[in-house]
Amino acid sequence: MSTVSDLDTWRLFFKIVSRGSIAKVSEEIGVEASSISRRINKLEKDLGVELFRRKGKQLVLTSAGSVAYSRMRRIVFDAASLFKDLQVARDNDRDLITIACPIGLSEIIMPIAISKYLEFNPDVSVSMRSLSYVELMTSDAITSYDVMLSVTPLNIPTRDSKLIAGISFMLAATPQYLNSLKYPIRSPRDLSEHPIFSFFSRNRERNMVLRKGSDYFPLHFHAHMRLNNPGGIKQVVMRSKGIGAYCPVYYYLDELANGTVCEVLPEWKFPVQQIYISRKDRDRVAVNRFVHWLIDYFEHCPGLVPPSYEGLWVGDFVDGVPV
């Protein structure tokens, strides 16, 4: 038994013994019965013996099958432990950290953060993938990555989630666009008269609400362009084509500093979007070290707010209404 594939075949063998039927095993694990039969037939051919015989509708063990069942259970268990230990050892030797995070963070903040971390940890390598908010919540993503950044907590036994920061947003436009207007923008109601480029996710526009003191204003405008990438919104904003809505402040730090972008209606604020971090394996030293470093980095990152922020969060709303 030299591969994980061999191990899986023996596990199928044990399940058939337990259930007495390939059909029942097929239904239980969601694998075609014909595929299971081929695996067992190949195992019998490799061993040179028949493992099962049919008794009515049931499959029962042959004498050789009984020997295989009694002797192989411990061997398969030991082999499974060996493969797992080898995988852990290989990962620890490489110290490869796999990361998944939202598209915006993966374009601006994470590349800089990772490059800083690697300066002081040259033995570590990082592989990062950009995913949409919806993709981050799939079972494939949850089980595949060492570290995940998401806008909602992953409250499942295999991962622990921690709020590490919040994303500040704004309405953004260039001075050239604002200076070209016949009438200035004095209130959120005036936005309906302008080209709006908004963030788009989960097959709908984000429920956008502005707040000024105790006043709330829901932005129920129809956007001229909707994108699920804040970098794309920035491209049209910087060309003075209109106003970007729900723009992450960290995307515009340089432009705000040099005056090439202005915050529109700065007294009206968007709620802050939560950022959670989760890790898959609590025993990987390299992963734990990186997670602790990244938590500290995010807490002091320009354009983000710390988890101690006492203002309004996106999680304080249900369907765009504060709760």
Q: What is the CATH number of the domain that holds 18?
A: 1.10.10.10
Across all residues in the chain, what is the average pLDDT? 86
pLDDT, residue 321, reads 55
Question: Is 247 a member of any domain?
Answer: yes
pLDDT per position as a tens digit, 139-184: 777 778 899 999 888 767 667 789 999 999 999 999 999 999 999 9
Residues 143 and 184 in one domain: no
35: pLDDT strictly greater than 70: yes
Q: How far apart are CA 126 and CA 84, in angstroms?
A: 21
Single residue among 37, 54, 89 that ends a domain in this structure: 89
CATH number of the domain within which 136 lies: 3.40.190.10
Which range, of 69-78, 112-121, 188-197, 203-212, averages the lowest pLDDT?
A: 203-212
Question: Is 314 a member of any domain?
Answer: no
* 0.75 surpassed by pTM: no
Q: Residue 92 — pLDDT band, cuts 50, 70, 90? A: low
Residues 185 and 149 in one domain: no
Question: Is 316 a member of any domain?
Answer: no
Residues 173 and 259 in one domain: yes
Q: Residue 239 — pLDDT band, cuts 50, 70, 90? A: very high
Residues 14 and 155 in one domain: no
Residues 101 and 139 in one domain: yes
Residues 70 and 16 in one domain: yes
Question: Is 320 a member of any domain?
Answer: no
Residues 84 and 104 in one domain: no
Residues 179 and 38 in one domain: no
How many domains in the chain? 3
Print the domain residue range for 65: 4-89
